[in-house]
């Protein structure tokens, strides 16, 4: 057996022309299957006058129309719980997950077959192996598990690779630090913000992580994972190298990872995905080097096909030659750069102002309100709602604070919200588009650790 | 025998595809007790992932009792 820097040397170093042939064959097969088995996708193709016969190479991908989160949500809302987009009977599923964030109050729901679930772990293997994780590593997951897909795939990837896996579930932060020390973890997986939170806790406990055994920190779930200053901070506090990954629940796994050469960006997993970058306004594909919205097509998940899904993530794609590692997979320069829309990312959980408003407006005592984001103690992000009490509801104001906080947390995977009242007339009013989000965080879109209290602690969010 | 990009399969790849077919046949054996069937399903799914990674199979293993 030869040692390889690549998990899959054959495809990771495949000449681009061959890679495109492979993508074309997988696209054709995926369209044929979705045409036959998924009514949602059949309608999509028919509307665009696309038939499987028209898909002859990867160049024909552009014949397929974009899909959106809204279309996915409408499909599932029209025929709960999964709509008519499944390409396999639900009885063949072995896994259920759902999105952490919500546009509206209904999360996206996903099912995975036995093969899907193994493929999800497989894609994570590209990342872990590519960043130097091996069978003799002890890998700690700061992840709450549950229906949040987060690091689930990474957990199984590490088991597959033969690592010793340390799942920390709902442990408190001090107990997590103790476990890392006690078991001699060599790799830690967390959101960037929670990696900092763990380091802070360790300092308070008198544990010097920089002199400990951890040599790699693998982060996901927030743009901060690719912000150089944040990475440097984590690296200095842990005495370890930090690598970013990114994925999404809609895919079930990651589609980009940093290799050990770390060229300032992340490789795309291009044997299993096609990543396009488009102008979010015109939908036109952008050339290398231009910032745009990433659009993903997946060849992996059998239960739910994904074609040209508009992710709303902002990226800049550059050629694989940016990196000296030898992979022929292209690179997202600087990772995920942000969001096209206004989604807020708080400790690894997506928060949509529109969804918050939908919840807030169900509480009668709320008059005007504001969504507040702030950084506490220099590193920990908090989100909350401040509201003016509607006249006549004053006696119920404190009860409303409690109920609203519970309601918001329940709809955001347990993310804690503080809720407080404001003096009447103190909050801004708007004549046109309301701007109710007041973001005072040091790093917008993430960048600060989770609360030390267990329920809000999050793992990464593909 | 060629892979999906037109390369000749290596001997190891050929053995992998052959093993995948053997396990596929095993899945339809009515005499398998639950313990054997469940583990054969796991084995098949893992082998299929390997073959898929190496561009030896295309599509999905539909129609199998996975």
Which residues of chain A does B48 touch, with a Cβ-Cβ cutoff of 8 Å? 115
- Asked whether the beta carbons of residue A122 and residue B49 sit closer than 8 angstroms, the reply is yes
Q: Supply the mean pLDDT for chain A.
A: 90
- Give which of B6, B16, B55 to mutate to test A binding, by max A Cβ within 10 Å: B55
CB A148 within 8 A of CB A413: yes
- Asked whether the beta carbons of residue A302 and residue B62 sit closer than 8 angstroms, the reply is yes
Tell me what pLDDT residue A434 has. 56
Tell me what pLDDT residue A6 has. 98
What pLDDT, in 10s, does the model give residues A241-268?
A: 999 999 999 999 999 999 999 999 999 9
- Collapsing DSSP states into helix, strand and coil, what is residue A23? helix
Its sign, for the CA torsion A195, A198, A204, A207, is: negative
Tell me what pLDDT residue A452 has. 27
Phi, psi torsion values for A398, nearest 5 degrees: -70, -40
Using only the alpha carbons of chain A, give its radius of gyration: 22
Q: Is A29 on the interface with B (CB under 8 A)?
A: yes
Average pLDDT value for residue range A46-53: 97
CB A193 within 8 A of CB A449: yes
Q: Name the band, by pLDDT with cuts 50, 70 and 90, for residue A449.
A: very low
Q: Is B4 on the interface with A (CB under 8 A)?
A: yes
β-bridge pairing A344-346 and A366-376: unpaired
- Asked whether the beta carbons of residue B59 and residue A8 sit closer than 8 angstroms, the reply is no
Stated pTM of the model: 0.81
What pLDDT, in 10s, does the model give residues B29-52?
A: 999 999 999 999 999 999 999 999
Q: Is B31 on the interface with A (CB under 8 A)?
A: no
Which residues of chain A does B49 touch, with a Cβ-Cβ cutoff of 8 Å? 115, 118-119, 122
The closest CB to that of B53, out of A8, A25, A113, belongs to A8
pLDDT over 50 (residue A431): no
Which residues of chain A does B60 touch, with a Cβ-Cβ cutoff of 8 Å? 29, 33, 115, 302
ipTM greater than 0.90: yes
Which residues of chain A does B6 touch, with a Cβ-Cβ cutoff of 8 Å? 18, 21
Tell me what pLDDT residue A342 has. 67
For the ranges A123-137, A272-286, A291-305, A415-429, which has the lowest average pLDDT?
A415-429
Average pLDDT value for residue range A55-69: 97
Q: Name the band, by pLDDT with cuts 50, 70 and 90, for residue A17.
A: very high
Instruction: State how far residue A53 is from chain B, nearest Cα, in angstroms.
Output: 15
Higher pLDDT, A428 or A269: A269
β-bridge pairing A417-422 and A306-318: unpaired
- Asked whether the beta carbons of residue B54 and residue A8 sit closer than 8 angstroms, the reply is yes
Tell me what pLDDT residue A356 has. 85
What's the rounded Cα separation, in Å, for the pair A295 and A268? 12
What are A380's strand-pairing partners? A376
Tell me what pLDDT residue A360 has. 87
Size of interface A-B (CB pairs under 8 A): 55
Tell me what pLDDT residue A337 has. 82
The closest CB to that of A118, out of B46, B54, B59, belongs to B46
Single out the residue of A260, A246, A241 nearest to residue A195, CA to CA.
A241
What pLDDT, in 10s, does the model give residues A383-409?
A: 999 999 988 999 999 999 999 999 999
Instruction: State how far residue A60 is from chain B, nearest Cα, in angstroms.
Output: 18
- Give which of B6, B41, B53 to mutate to test A binding, by max A Cβ within 10 Å: B53
Tell me what pLDDT residue A228 has. 81
For the ranges A32-46, A149-163, A297-311, A434-448, which has the lowest average pLDDT?
A434-448
Q: Name the band, by pLDDT with cuts 50, 70 and 90, for residue A448.
A: very low
pLDDT over 70 (residue A454): no
What pLDDT, in 10s, does the model give residues A101-155?
A: 544 467 899 999 999 999 999 999 999 999 999 999 999 999 989 998 999 999 9
What pLDDT, in 10s, does the model give residues A319-370?
A: 999 999 999 999 999 998 877 876 788 888 888 776 788 788 889 898 888 9
Q: Is A118 on the interface with B (CB under 8 A)?
A: yes
pLDDT over 60 (residue A445): no
């Amino acid at each position: 057996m030869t040692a390889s820097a690549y998990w899959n040397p054959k495809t990771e170093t495949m000449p681009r022309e061959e890679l495109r042939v492979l993508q074309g064959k997988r696209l054709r097969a995926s369209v044929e299957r979705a045409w036959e088995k998924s009514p949602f996708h059949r309608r999509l193709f028919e509307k665009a006058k696309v038939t499987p016969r028209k898909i002859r190479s990867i160049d024909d991908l552009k014949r397929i129309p974009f899909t959106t989160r809204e279309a996915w949500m409408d499909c599932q809302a029209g025929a709960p719980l999964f709509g008519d987009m499944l390409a396999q009977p639900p009885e063949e599923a072995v896994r259920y997950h759902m999105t952490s964030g919500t546009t509206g109050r209904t999360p996206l729901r996903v099912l995975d077959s036995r093969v899907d679930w193994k493929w999800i772990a497989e894609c994570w293997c590209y990342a872990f192996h590519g960043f130097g994780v091996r069978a003799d590593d002890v890998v700690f997951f700061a992840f709450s598990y549950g229906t949040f897909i987060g690091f689930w795939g990474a957990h199984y990837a590490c088991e597959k690779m033969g690592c010793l896996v340390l799942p920390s579930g709902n442990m408190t932060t001090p107990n997590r630090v103790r476990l890392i020390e006690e078991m001699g973890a060599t790799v830690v997986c967390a959101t960037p913000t929670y990696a900092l939170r763990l380091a802070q806790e360790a300092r308070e406990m008198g544990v010097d992580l920089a002199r400990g055994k951890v040599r790699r920190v693998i982060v996901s779930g927030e743009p901060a994972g690719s912000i150089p200053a944040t990475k440097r901070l984590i690296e200095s506090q842990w005495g370890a190298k930090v690598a970013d990954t990114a994925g999404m629940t809609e895919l079930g796994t990651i589609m980009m990872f940093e290799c050990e050469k770390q060229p300032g960006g992340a490789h795309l997993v291009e044997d299993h995905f096609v990543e396009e970058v488009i102008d979010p306004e015109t939908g036109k594909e952008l050339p290398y080097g231009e910032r745009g919205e990433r659009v993903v097509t997946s060849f992996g998940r059998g239960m739910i096909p994904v074609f040209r899904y508009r992710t709303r993530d902002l990226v800049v794609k550059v050629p694989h030659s940016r990196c000296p590692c030898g992979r022929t997979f292209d690179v997202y320069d600087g990772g995920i750069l942000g969001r096209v829309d206004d989604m807020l990312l708080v400790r690894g959980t997506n928060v949509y102002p529109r969804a918050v408003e939908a919840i807030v407006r169900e509480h009668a005592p709320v008059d005007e309100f504001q969504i507040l984001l702030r950084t506490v103690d220099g590193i920990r992000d908090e989100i909350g709602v401040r509201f003016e009490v509607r006249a006549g509801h004053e006696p119920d104001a404190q009860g409303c604070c409690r109920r609203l906080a519970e309601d918001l947390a329940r709809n955001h995977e347990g993310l804690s919200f503080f809720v407080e009242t404001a003096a009447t007339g103190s909050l801004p009013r708007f004549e046109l588009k309301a701007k109710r989000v007041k973001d005072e965080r040091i790093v917008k879109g993430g960048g600060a650790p989770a609360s030390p209290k267990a329920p809000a602690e999050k793992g990464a969010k593909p | 025998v060629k892979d999906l990009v037109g390369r000749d399969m290596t001997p190891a790849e050929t053995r992998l595809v052959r093993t995948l077919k053997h396990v596929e046949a095993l899945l339809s054996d009515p005499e398998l007790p639950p313990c054997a069937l469940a583990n054969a399903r796991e084995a098949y799914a893992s082998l299929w992932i390997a073959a898929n990674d190496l561009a030896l199979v295309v599509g999905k293993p539909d129609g199998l009792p996975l």
